[in-house]
């Protein structure tokens, strides 16, 4: 409680104590005990002192004060105190305060004056007058007979009482419970002298105590009462609609052919808690999954209100909840946030405030409200206990209000106390009309007796019992001819031994030496035969009423908003995640750029971008870092969410919305990482004017890596496997980027003469690096001024220096061999045709070529001479083009006007090493001859690829300035960006349909992959 509430309580206690003669020792002792029960002893002292000062403790009462009526001043003061704390207290807290005030009068003076103060408090707290009277009667009555309303439950040894609010138990005293309906709270009193323990704490006989949800009350003589036992008598066993659940002839086979379940029959209505028990491997979880609709049976039916769960999954699934043995929690979110986002995905028909109220109510009902702001945490960083995690998992399903709830070993890994609390909670839910199936393993005596029915499986999926839990013990003892088989529990303490059931089922044969053998006395088939012989299941009538839709799933856009908000909250809550992901990029950029920046000038002028030979390597490493960061940030996303996705699959939520939300967050992270990387790296290396171009390429490459990371995360089940795969994905990116190894110097199996190898076209790095290199060379502030002129100069120079001399040389050779009878005429004709073809390609710059073309159809000495003349003409034209372009380039640069400014411009924006790379000047092979045509192998960044008849044929040489596509040309920078995002879309489609996972899970595909790897 807050300081304000505690002070108000002290004031109320004092006002009551002052009435009718002043403070008594009973009053003071009660106040001391009350405060010490609410807060620690040291803090309680402060409020006890305040109470004594306000009540006048130790001051002698005035004569005749016993006859005084409650003063107007005290009544007004009481109202003021109540109004002050009214908004702070919940209605439940107000009821507790009222019971405290009544408790204060018990054993002390209960006069009209004091009662008037309490009435004033009750009225100010808006407590229902009937419930006020009920509490007053319950708190102040001296015998159980005075409490005889339907809101009471009496537990005693009076067998003759035949009232619905009386229960028989062999005890010497009477326990009385009262239910305050408006706040769903239970209080109890012990009328007698027996010792009782509430949740392990000794109770006092004079006290009327709150019996909170999940509580356990035990007597010194062995009686145990669970909260669910009591609440059952106050709640109706009917839900909002009737329910029938029939399972007929259920069988299930695993993919390998093994039989998991055999002829299972179940029939239930609402309001039952049913345990599924059996030895390890008997098929308990398999049965639960089939009953919940998560696995499809080989034969048989599961009918919910007559609807086949597996054939009409969506129609019946709305009433089913499933809690797996593993946690379905988001570790980075708080208890409240886990439930809140789950509720938002279920109740599109409710306003936000109603959803928040619903979440708060569920947490309150499950005893989790006090920890709602705690981070859930994981096994290494625990914030909440195991029992609380289990209850929160249950809450995730209960928020949807399912009528049928399936739980797989909800007590696994919990302490005995937490286990009792969880099962008690399930019992309470069953009492409210829910049908609950739970797999249980080695339950205690108290837990075992809380189940309404027990379904026991034997090895191989045989159903060997279905009925009352206590009857199960007598049944198996009778079949196996155990002594006192008619006794199911201890007559003295009432305990049962659940393990005895499994021990009897699996009992081994003893050999002649008294040693147990591996052979069972009764095998599973025999137990199954006994069951069929002794039990006949009467199926309840399949109701015609539809289960209905108890919740409303939001539309896809709203789901995307909720998924995005949840994922964003998850990541923001994880400080380590934020620190690593948002510092990794700038740190890597600093390390990379700082190391490769060096004094690269001979004149001592210091660092110059122009002469830094590491710029091509920086471009490659920038791309590799973008891919690495994109993969690492996304590779574990779906693996981490797999359990949550399994639960949400029952809701039929949109996979598109989920994946889109993931990509929204991941793309945002990638955008920031790319920005900070370039901000640091480009600044250190003094790369100017290219920031946005670099960013869009690194962002595109990172986004593609994000989708690829999600794809492998969705495909594989282990995070270790995924992180092992990352180097396997990164290394080919480096090898086939075109930066580390020239494409003309790779294995002939992959090489494509004059073109980028097909295998390289599947690499992110190839497209990203080429785009960066070409963009940096073509569009820097220096080169973009004269690129067109430099292109004309370079093409003219190539033709003058390499191509035309090569064609002349070939013509001379053809002419020399023309009369050689040993030379194949067909071969000479082909060689001549190739030369003519190269000349014809240049017809646009020399009209004589078109005029002379008819004279070049046949190989003759005259035709060779004509070709020689045409080549001479081409030389003249190319020289003219070269000279004209040179003059224009000088004019554009302003050479002769400000030489120093031009030099500074080139030093700041032009990089010699990158220019050499994109022009491929280091190659020894200057011309490529594919047998039909000649193409350049140097100055590649200047040469435009030839048009293709196929509009989809984009293929060109590496670092081409443009790409041919759909009948036109696109800049390499734009085209490569479009390619990266096209790959993004393709991978997203594969991710959406889980194509890769289905392929790997397919046995045939797995066999092929294994064979391929083995070879």
Closest CA to 550 of 452, 676, 742, 404: 404
Tell me the per-residue pLDDT of 328-349, one tens digit each, with 9 for 90 and over: 889 999 999 999 999 999 898 8
Q: Provide mean pLDDT across the span 883-898.
A: 84
pLDDT at 68: 46
Please give the pLDDT value at position 239.
43
Please tell me the pTM assigned to this model. 0.76
Window from 68-77, 367-376, 944-953 with minimum mean pLDDT:
68-77
Closest CA to 565 of 487, 657, 651, 478: 657
Could you tell me which residues are beta bridge partners of residue 216? 226
- Output the pLDDT for position 242: 75
The crossing angle, in degrees rounded to 10, of helices 691-715 and 637-648 is: 50
pLDDT at 547: 65
pLDDT at 107: 59
Tell me the sheet residues that pair with 179: 186
- What confidence score (pLDDT) does residue 336 get? 95
Distance CA 188, CA 798 (A): 102
Bridge partners for 321 per DSSP: 405
pLDDT above 60: residue 699:
yes
pLDDT value for 69: 42
Average confidence score pLDDT of the chain:
85
What is the percent of the chain where pLDDT is above 90?
40
Question: Containing H/E element for 594?
Answer: helix 575-596
H/E segment holding residue 201? strand 201-202
Q: How far apart are CA 40 and CA 62, in angstroms?
A: 35
The pLDDT, as a whole number, for residue 976 is: 97
Whole-angstrom distance, CA of residue 839 vs CA of residue 804: 9
Three-state secondary structure of 642-667: HHHHHHHHHHCCCHHHHHHHHHHHHH
Cβ distance 132 to 98 under 8 Å?
Answer: yes
| pLDDT > 90? residue 737 | yes
∠ CA 815-820-821 to the nearest 5 degrees?
145
Task: Please state, in angstroms and rounded to a whole number, the distance separating the CA atoms of residues 560 and 567.
Answer: 10
**Bridge-partner residues for 625, per DSSP?**
none
Q: 759 pLDDT exceeds 90?
A: yes
Torsional class of 20: left (φ above 0), alpha (ψ -120 to 50), beta (otherwise): left
- Decide if pLDDT at 1014 tops 60: no
**pLDDT for 84-142, tens place per residue?**
777 777 888 888 888 888 877 775 566 777 778 788 888 888 888 898 888 888 888 87
* pLDDT, mean of residues 473-488: 75
Query: Among candidates 214, 180, 187, which has minimal Cα distance to 200?
Result: 214
**66 pLDDT exceeds 50?**
no
Contact 720, 787 (CB under 8 A): no
Asked whether 326 and 643 are in contact (CB, 8 A), the reply is yes
pLDDT at 1011 over 70: no
**pLDDT by residue (tens digit) across 403-438?**
899 999 888 878 887 888 888 888 888 887 889 999
* pLDDT of the residue at 733: 94
| Contact yes or no for 406/322 (Cβ under 8 A) | yes
Confidence of residue 196 (pLDDT cuts 50, 70, 90): confident
Higher-pLDDT residue of 294 and 514 is 294
Tokens of 523: 């095998």
- φ, ψ dihedrals at 632, nearest 5°: -65, -30
Confidence of residue 772 (pLDDT cuts 50, 70, 90): very high
Quick one: pLDDT at residue 73? 62
The pLDDT tens digits for 248-267 are 999 999 988 899 999 999 99
Spatial contact of 887 and 784, defined as CB atoms under 8 Å apart: no
The pLDDT of 306-335, averaged and rounded, is 85
Token pair recorded at residue 75: 């009544």
Q: Which tokens sit at 320?
A: 């089913």
């Amino acid at each position: 409680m807050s300081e304000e509430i505690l002070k108000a309580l002290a004031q109320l206690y004092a006002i009551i104590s002052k009435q009718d003669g002043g403070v008594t020792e009973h009053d003071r002792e009660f106040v001391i005990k009350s405060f010490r029960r609410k807060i620690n002893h040291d803090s309680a002292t402060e409020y006890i002192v305040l109470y004594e000062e306000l009540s006048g403790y130790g001051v002698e009462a005035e004569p005749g004060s016993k006859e005084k009526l409650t003063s107007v001043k005290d009544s007004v003061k009481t109202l003021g105190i109540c109004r002050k704390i009214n908004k702070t207290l919940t209605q439940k807290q107000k009821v507790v305060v009222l019971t405290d005030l009544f408790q204060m009068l018990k054993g002390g003076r209960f006069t009209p004056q004091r009662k008037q103060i309490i009435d004033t408090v009750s009225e100010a707290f808006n407590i229902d007058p009937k419930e006020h009277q009920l509490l007053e009667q319950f708190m102040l009555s001296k015998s159980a007979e005075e409490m005889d309303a339907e809101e009471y439950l009496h537990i005693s040894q009076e067998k003759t009482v035949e009232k619905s609010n009386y229960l028989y138990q062999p005890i010497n005293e009477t326990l009385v419970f009262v239910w305050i309906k408006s706040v769903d709270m239970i209080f109890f009193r012990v009328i007698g002298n027996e010792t009782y323990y509430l949740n392990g704490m000794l109770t006092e006989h004079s006290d009327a105590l709150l019996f909170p949800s999940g509580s356990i009350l035990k007597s010194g003589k062995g009686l145990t009462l669970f909260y669910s036992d009591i609440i059952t008598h106050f709640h109706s066993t009917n839900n909002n609609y009737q329910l029938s659940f029939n399972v007929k002839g259920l069988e299930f086979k695993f993919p390998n052919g093994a039989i998991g379940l055999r002829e299972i029959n179940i029939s239930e209505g609402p309001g039952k808690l049913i345990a599924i028990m059996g030895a390890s491997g008997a098929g308990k979880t398999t049965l639960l999954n089939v009953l919940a609709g998560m696995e499809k049976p080989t034969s048989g039916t599961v009918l919910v209100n007559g609807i086949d769960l597996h054939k009409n999954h969506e129609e019946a699934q709305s009433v089913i909840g499933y809690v797996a043995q593993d946690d379905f929690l988001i570790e980075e979110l708080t208890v409240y946030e886990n439930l809140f986002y789950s509720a938002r995905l279920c109740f599109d028909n409710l306003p936000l405030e109603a959803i928040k109220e619903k979440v708060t109510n569920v947490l309150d009902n499950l005893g989790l409200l006090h920890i709602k702001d705690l981070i859930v945490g994981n096994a290494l960083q625990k914030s909440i206990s195991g029992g609380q995690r289990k209850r929160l998992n249950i809450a995730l399903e209960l928020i949807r209000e399912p009528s049928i709830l399936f739980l797989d070993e909800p007590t696994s890994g919990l302490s005995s106390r937490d286990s009792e609390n969880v099962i008690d909670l399930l019992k309470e839910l069953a009492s409210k009309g829910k049908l609950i199936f739970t797999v249980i393993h080695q339950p205690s005596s108290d837990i075992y007796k809380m189940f309404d029915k027990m379904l026991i499986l034997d090895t191989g999926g045989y159903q060997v019992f279905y009925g009352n839990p206590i009857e199960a013990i007598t049944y198996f003892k009778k079949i196996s001819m155990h002594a006192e088989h008619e006794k199911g529990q201890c007559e003295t303490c009432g305990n049962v031994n659940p393990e005895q059931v499994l021990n009897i089922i699996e009992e081994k044969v003893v050999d002649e030496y008294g040693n147990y053998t591996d052979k069972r006395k009764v095998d599973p088939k025999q137990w199954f035969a006994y069951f069929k012989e002794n039990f006949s299941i009467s199926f309840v009538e399949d109701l015609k009423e539809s289960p209905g839709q108890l919740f409303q799933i939001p539309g896809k856009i709203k789901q995307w908003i909720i998924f995005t908000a949840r994922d964003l909250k998850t990541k923001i809550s994880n400080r380590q995640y934020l620190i690593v992901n948002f510092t990794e990029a700038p740190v890597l950029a600093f390390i990379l750029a700082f190391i490769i920046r060096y004094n690269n000038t001979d004149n001592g002028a210091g660092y110059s971008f122009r002469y830094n030979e590491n710029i091509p390597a920086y471009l490659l490493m920038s791309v590799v870092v973008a891919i690495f960061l994109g993969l690492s940030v996304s590779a574990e996303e779906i693996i981490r969410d797999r359990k949550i996705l399994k639960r949400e699959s029952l809701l039929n939520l949109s996979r598109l919305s989920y994946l889109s939300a993931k990509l929204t967050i991941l793309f945002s992270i990638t955008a920031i990482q790319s920005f900070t990387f370039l901000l640091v790296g480009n600044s250190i290396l003094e790369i100017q004017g290219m920031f946005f171009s670099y960013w869009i390429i690194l962002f595109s490459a990172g986004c593609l890596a994000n989708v690829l990371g999600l794809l492998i995360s969705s495909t594989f089940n282990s995070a270790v496997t995924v992180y092992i795969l990352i180097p396997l994905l990164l290394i080919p990116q480096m090898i086939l980027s075109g930066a580390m190894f020239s494409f003309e110097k790779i294995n002939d199996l992959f090489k494509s003469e004059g073109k980028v190898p097909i295998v390289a076209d599947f690499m992110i790095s190839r497209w990203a690096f080429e785009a960066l290199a070409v963009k940096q060379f073509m569009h820097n502030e220096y080169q973009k001024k004269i690129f067109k002129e430099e292109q004309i100069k370079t093409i003219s120079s190539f033709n003058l220096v390499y191509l035309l001399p090569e064609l002349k040389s070939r013509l001379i050779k053809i002419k020399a061999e023309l009369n050689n009878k040993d030379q194949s005429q067909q071969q000479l004709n082909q060689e001549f045709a190739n030369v003519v073809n190269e000349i014809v390609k240049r017809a646009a710059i020399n009209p004589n070529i078109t005029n002379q073309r008819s004279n070049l159809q046949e190989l003759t000495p005259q035709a060779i001479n004509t070709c020689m003349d045409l080549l001479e003409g081409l030389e003249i034209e190319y020289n003219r083009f070269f000279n004209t372009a040179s003059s224009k380039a000088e004019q554009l640069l302003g050479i002769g006007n400000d030489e120093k400014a031009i030099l500074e411009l080139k030093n700041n924006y032009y990089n010699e090493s990158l220019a050499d790379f994109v022009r491929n000047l280091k190659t020894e092979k200057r011309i490529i001859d594919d047998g039909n045509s000649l193409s350049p192998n140097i100055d590649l960044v200047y040469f435009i690829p030839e048009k293709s008849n196929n509009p989809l044929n984009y293929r060109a040489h590496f670092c081409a300035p443009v790409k041919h596509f759909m009948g036109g040309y696109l800049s390499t920078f734009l085209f490569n960006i479009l390619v990266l995002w096209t790959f993004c879309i393709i991978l997203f489609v594969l991710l959406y349909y889980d194509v890769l996972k289905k392929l790997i899970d397919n046995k045939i595909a797995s066999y092929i992959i294994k064979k391929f790897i083995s070879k």
